Structure 1
Amino acid sequence: MTKIIGRNDGPGSRNEHYDVGSRKNVSRREIVSEIKRGEHPDAHVVNINGREYARDNPDRSTTDNVNRRKP
């Protein structure tokens, strides 16, 4: 499973780019398209104020959340 990490690089710390495994700065639009195509089965898309964002599917872990804090 490839981890998706939000970069919090947009206005108000929104995710405009994500790190996906070894891929850095993947655009929000690109990762949303990949999720919709089923390329990331442990993630889903949410629509917030007309913008789509990547989110991890719910589980008991907080260490794999898209918006986890980077070490």
Structure 2
Amino acid sequence: MTKIIGNNDGENGRNETYKIGSRKKVPRSVTVKEVEQGKHSGVHIVKINGRKYVRDNPDPSKKDNVNRTKKR
């Protein structure tokens, strides 16, 4: 399964693009469409302020979240 990782590249850290496997900057709209088409497992769509975003399905692990904490 290919992991989806948010790039936190939008205003206030929103994900405007996602990294999916070897694809480094997949636009949010394309990622959402792929998830809605069932092309990615382990994730779902949430709508916040009228915008759709990809979120990881709940589990106890933080290391596989779409929005991972970046090491500094």
Aligned to 2:45: 45
Q: Which runs of 5+ in 1 are unaligned?
A: none
Aligned length: 71
Q: CA deviation at 1:69?
A: 2.3
Alignment partners' CA distance in 2, 1:60 and 1:69: 15
Query: Structure 1 length as normaliser, TM-score?
Result: 0.95
- Within-5 A mapping of 1:1-71: 1-71=1-71
Identity %: 59
Structure 1 stretches of 4+ with a deviation exceeding 6 A read: none
Query: Structure 2 length as normaliser, TM-score?
Result: 0.94
Q: Which runs of 5+ in 2 are unaligned?
A: none
Q: CA deviation at 1:4?
A: 0.5
Q: CA deviation at 1:57?
A: 0.5
